[in-house]
Structure 1
Amino acid sequence: MRIVGLSAFYHDSAAALVVDGKIVAAAQEERFTRKKHDASFPHHALSYCLDEARTKLDGIDYVVFYDKPFLKFERLLETYLAFAPKGFRSFRMAIPLWLREKLFQKQLLRDELKRYAADFDLESKLLFTEHHQSHAASAFFPSPFEEAAVLTMDGVGEWATTSTGLGRGNDLKILKELHFPHSLGLLYSAFTYYTGFKVNSGEYKVMGLAPYGEPKFAQTILDNLIDVKPDGSFRLDQSYFDYCTGLRMTNEKFDRLFGAPPRNPETLLTQREMDLAASVQAVTEEIVLRLTRSLAAETGLPNLCLAGGVALNCVANGKVLRDGAFKSIWIQPAAGDAGGAVGAALAAYHLYKKGPRNTSGAIDGMRGSYLGPAFDDDDAAQRLTAAGARFVRLDDDALVARAAGDLQAGKALGWFQGAMEFGPRALGNRSIIADARSPAMQSALNLKVKYRESFRPFAPAVLRSDVSDWFDLDCDSPYMLLVADVARQRQRAMTAEEHALFGIEKVNVPRSEIPAVTHVDYSARVQTVHEDTNPRFHALLTAFKARTGCPVLVNTSFNVRGEPIVGTPEDAFRCFMGTELDALAVGNLYLVKDEQDAALKRDYKGAFALD
């Protein structure tokens, strides 16, 4: 049975293909269109999935959409009625759009799908799941657990903002829900907006900024904005927010509470923004811990699955793991809306068609999240030659040796290999990699390669066999979704003078043997690399360790700020020529910057809208 899942029309549109319960392909539309967080119907991603199935749309058994548009429209109407007459301006702006596009989304989907197969039986083959059911299905069904508790947290689906569930075998039941407007995701997004970052894009910047500050405003948040119960349930005081009926996240009352208007984007960050970030992060962690402890007590299960945008908060995830209420946790790597496409397809297979589930024989059902398009060397060579690239073709061993040698020499390397990752993280196939031992690498990559804010941390990729020797972690973390401290024996104590430095000035102070991936609080967002899911990246780390004694590399996504992760060899070459990367490996093809045609260099820094 072949089932396609779709997410679209809000942000991070995607398509996924599930064949007899196995996830075969998945991709986000942004990787093809080069428009970050592209919300349009995922034509390119769907075409890719159909190509992987070697079929047309009429060979697909079901197409499943990741939420129910009419329930969203119902929520919009009820919200405006509840807050009337406040917010009439935004109501007047929103309703024509919803009447034109959202309310009739089923018809819009039908029209788009008929472009692929005019006689596709939409009445019986087009299905809809609820938003949080899609998230929960994406969390449980690919997990390695036969039985698990499931926690979904995001901004809002139709009505649900937080939900708990119970998965057993091929069954999944939602137990409880918290409803809009009370939302942990929207609380975090409110502070994303207030600290001058872009909502639905900049939340991870707030998380990265938090360690530079102190949670001085945490009690203010708990006393005024949110009432949190011992079990983690909560209510937000809507008098401080404007997301229900306005055109912004917060209002003047929020400004008065925190003593200033929102920071203007791209202006200088101050200690105040760092303290605000630390505060909302601390509150988020406390709520998530209360929710997980309550869910563990209620279900008595040792395993937890997480999805929804809040599950991308890897700092909170790490604290849930260390808290010990659950013995094991598994997080859907595409925890945001893109992953809803996978969840929708799996929900149709397991819940609607009662298809069997097999959890044996692998880390999980996401196959390392390497689910996107791949390019063989002949295809890549043709594409790169057409783009004007100069390269040599190496065998496998020579490629790994050449790359490891360049990394040891302090070079920054574009690493384009195999199938593209699904989800927001590059996991060693569309990555920029570098030596984690270099004290200058974090700043150099941010400012000269990624063209992004200097405070943002980089993640370490480490051989799974060596993780506990370098980090306070001894479990699989293949998707870069758990934060742990650098191992004590690898840390370097900061001097009193270094401790006294202001906020971001601390970023250039080496704090461990791997300073390029050690955040200011000694933490790191760890990716464990496994030979069975990514043998080439594993071989590179192994070769680097043989040369240096260190099994850790910097791993960051292959893109610049505001750009989606590169999807094709041409994308990789353009990014290579527009940044200060030193070398590029595309499959077995190796490119050196100094050997390229200087006329092909481009000003890449301003090529994409800021995120």
Structure 2
Amino acid sequence: MRILGISAFYHDSAAAMVEDGRIVAAAQEERFTRKKHDASFPANAVGYCLAAAECDMADVDHVVFYDKPFLKFERLLETYLATSPRGFRSFRMAMPLWIKEKLFQKKLLRRHLGKLAGSKEWSGSLLFTEHHLAHAASAFFPSPFPSAAVLTMDGVGEWCTTSVGHGRDNDLEILKEIRFPHSLGLLYSAFTYYTGFKVNSGEYKVMGLAPYGRPQFAQKILDNLIDLKEDGSFRLDQRYFDYCAGLTMTSPAFHHLFGAEPRKPESPLTRREMDLAASIQAVTEEVVLKLARFARQETGERHLCLAGGVALNCVANGKLVRKRIFDEIWIQPAAGDAGGAVGAALAAWHGYLGHTRILDGQDRMAGAFLGPAFEQREIEKRLTASGAVYTVLDDDAVIARTVVDALVDDKAVGWMQGRMEFGPRALGGRSILGDPRSPTMQKTLNLKVKYRESFRPFAPSVRREDVAEWFDIDTDSPYMLLVADVLDRRKVPLGPDEAALFGIDRLNVPRSEIPAVTHVDYSARVQTVHQDTNPRYWALLSAFKERTGCPVLVNTSFNVRGEPIICTPEDAFHCFMGTEIECLAVGNCFLRKEDQPSHLRQDYKAQFELD
């Protein structure tokens, strides 16, 4: 039996195919259209999922959408009525789209699916699941746990913004909810907007900026914006926000409380923005910890599963692990709306159809490598058509040795191997790699390769068997969703003058044996690499360790600021030629920048809208 899950029409549209309970394919639409956070119907992602399952729409038993549009419309309508006449402008802008499309989403979906089926409309089984149930299903059903507490947190679905659930075998029950307008995700997004970053895109920048500041506004947030209870429940004072009735996240009262208007995007960052970021991060961590304690108490479970956009806050996740509230935690790698496609399909398979789970101690996301892969012959054909000059290295050991040569020579290497990752993190399938021991690599990658803000940190990839030798963590972190400190013995002591530095001035001070992946607070967003899920990347780390004694590499997503992560060999070559990446490995093909035709170089950073 085949079930196709779809998330669409808000942001990060995606599709996933579940075949007899097994996730066989999943991908975000943005990877195909090259439009960041693409919200359109995921026609390309669905087409890929059908191809991966070797079927067409006639062979799909159920299509499941991750949202209930009428419930969402009910929430919007009630919100506008409750805030009238102040919300009329927002109401006037939203209603034409709802009346034209979203109220008739079933018909719209059937029309899109019909195009893929080669007809005007598809007449198969179309199901809808609630947004947070899809999140919860994406967290629990692929996890390795027979039973677990389930915590979901995001901006808002239909009404729910936060849920605590309990999963047992194929049964998943939502026990408690917090409802709109009270939302931890929207609170964090309000500070994302206020500090000058883009909502639904820049939240991770706030998280990365937080260690540069001090949480001096945290108590002001707790005293004024959020009424937080011991069980993790909370209410937001709507006087300070404008997302219900207006077109921005924060209100004049918010600006008055914090003493200034929102920072203009792309303007210089000051100590104030750093302190605001540190403050909202501290409050978020406090809320998450209280919710987790409540979930443990309510369910009695020793395991926790997480999903929803807030579950991408890897700093909060790392703190949750260190507090030992639960014995083990599993986080859906596509925790945001894209993962709702997986959750919707699994909710139908286990909940609607009642199939039991297959439990063997492994998670069912297959390392998140669920996207397209390209055979070597096709890679060569596509690169040749793009004008690329490459050498084919037939032996895996030669590929690893050649890439290691480039890395120890302080070069940035584009690395495209195997299936594309599902979710927002590059995990060694579509990555840009560097030597973590280099004191200049972090700055070089940010400014000359990624074309992004200099303060943003990079993640370390490390072999799972070596992680405890370098970081204060000894658990699986395959999806780069846990932050841990670099071990004390790997740190470099700071002199008095260095320790006195504040903000961005701290960026260029090496503070460990692996400075390129050590953030200013000695933390790192750790990815453990496992031989069974990514053997070629694991082999590269092994070769790098054999050469240098260090089993760690800098791993950042293969894209520039504002661009989706690459999907195809052509995407990889274009990004390679448009940036200062010096070498590129695609399958068995190895490319050096100096060998490429000069007329193919381009100013890549100007091609994408800033995120």
- Give 1:122 shift: 5.7
- Between 274-283 and 292-301, report the one with greater CA deviation: 292-301
Q: Tell me the secondary structure at the aligned position of residue 605 of structure 2.
A: coil
- Give 1:359 shift: 2.0
The correspondence of residues 223-372 of structure 1 with structure 2, limited to 5 A, is 223-360=223-360, 362=362, 364-372=363-371
- Encode CA deviations 1:475-529: one digit per residue, 9 max, x unaligned: 0000000000001110112222112223011111001000000000000000000
For 1:359 and 1:448, the matched residues in 2 are separated by 46
For 2:545 and 2:188, the matched residues in 1 are separated by 39
Identity between Structure 1 and Structure 2 (%): 70
Indicate the residue corresponding to 1:377 in structure 2. 376
Contact map agreement 1:20 1:355 (CA 8 A) in 2: no
Contact map agreement 2:110 2:121 (CA 8 A) in 1: no
> Could you list the runs of 5+ residues in structure 1 that have no partner in the other structure?
none
Q: Which amino acid aligns with 2:233?
A: S
Q: Which amino acid aligns with 2:11?
A: H
1:121/1:607 Cα in 2 relative to 1: closer, same or farther (>3 Å)?
closer
- Encode CA deviations 1:416-451: one digit per residue, 9 max, x unaligned: 000000000000010000100001000000000000
1:200 aligns with 2:205: no
The correspondence of residues 434-453 of structure 1 with structure 2, limited to 5 A, is 434-453=434-453
The correspondence of residues 116-155 of structure 1 with structure 2, limited to 5 A, is 116-117=116-117, 125-155=125-155
- Give 1:101 shift: 1.6
- Give 1:83 shift: 1.3
Indicate the residue corresponding to 1:510 in structure 2. 510
Indicate the residue corresponding to 2:426 in structure 1. 426
For 1:374 and 1:123, the matched residues in 2 are separated by 31
- Give 1:300 shift: 1.4
TM-score by length of 2: 0.99
Q: Which amino acid aligns with 1:148?
A: A
For 1:486 and 1:606, the matched residues in 2 are separated by 36
Contact map agreement 1:147 1:169 (CA 8 A) in 2: yes
For 1:184 and 1:387, the matched residues in 2 are separated by 46
Q: Which amino acid aligns with 2:302?
A: P
Indicate the residue corresponding to 2:389 in structure 1. 390
For 1:144 and 1:536, the matched residues in 2 are separated by 24
For 2:544 and 2:117, the matched residues in 1 are separated by 50
For 1:50 and 1:354, the matched residues in 2 are separated by 24
Indicate the residue corresponding to 2:86 in structure 1. 86
For 2:504 and 2:374, the matched residues in 1 are separated by 40
- Between 564-573 and 103-112, report the one with greater CA deviation: 103-112
1:191 aligns with 2:213: no
Q: Tell me the secondary structure at the aligned position of residue 337 of structure 2.
A: coil
Contact map agreement 1:58 1:120 (CA 8 A) in 2: no
For 1:256 and 1:290, the matched residues in 2 are separated by 29
For 2:116 and 2:510, the matched residues in 1 are separated by 55
Q: Tell me the secondary structure at the aligned position of residue 340 of structure 2.
A: helix
Q: Which amino acid aligns with 1:151?
A: L
TM-score by length of 1: 0.99
> Could you list the runs of 5+ residues in structure 2 that have no partner in the other structure?
none
Indicate the residue corresponding to 2:68 in structure 1. 68
- Give 1:90 shift: 1.1
For 2:356 and 2:129, the matched residues in 1 are separated by 19
The correspondence of residues 446-595 of structure 1 with structure 2, limited to 5 A, is 446-595=446-595
Q: Which amino acid aligns with 1:360?
A: D
- Between 122-131 and 143-152, report the one with greater CA deviation: 122-131
Q: Which amino acid aligns with 2:6?
A: L
For 1:425 and 1:336, the matched residues in 2 are separated by 12
For 1:72 and 1:97, the matched residues in 2 are separated by 13
- Give 1:390 shift: 0.3
For 1:87 and 1:126, the matched residues in 2 are separated by 34
- Encode CA deviations 1:42-97: one digit per residue, 9 max, x unaligned: 00000000001111101001000001011000000011111122211111111111
For 1:539 and 1:119, the matched residues in 2 are separated by 47
1:56/1:437 Cα in 2 relative to 1: closer, same or farther (>3 Å)?
same
Q: Tell me the secondary structure at the aligned position of residue 524 of structure 1.
A: strand
Indicate the residue corresponding to 1:55 in structure 2. 55
For 2:58 and 2:266, the matched residues in 1 are separated by 48
- Encode CA deviations 1:127-160: one digit per residue, 9 max, x unaligned: 0000000000000000010110000000000000
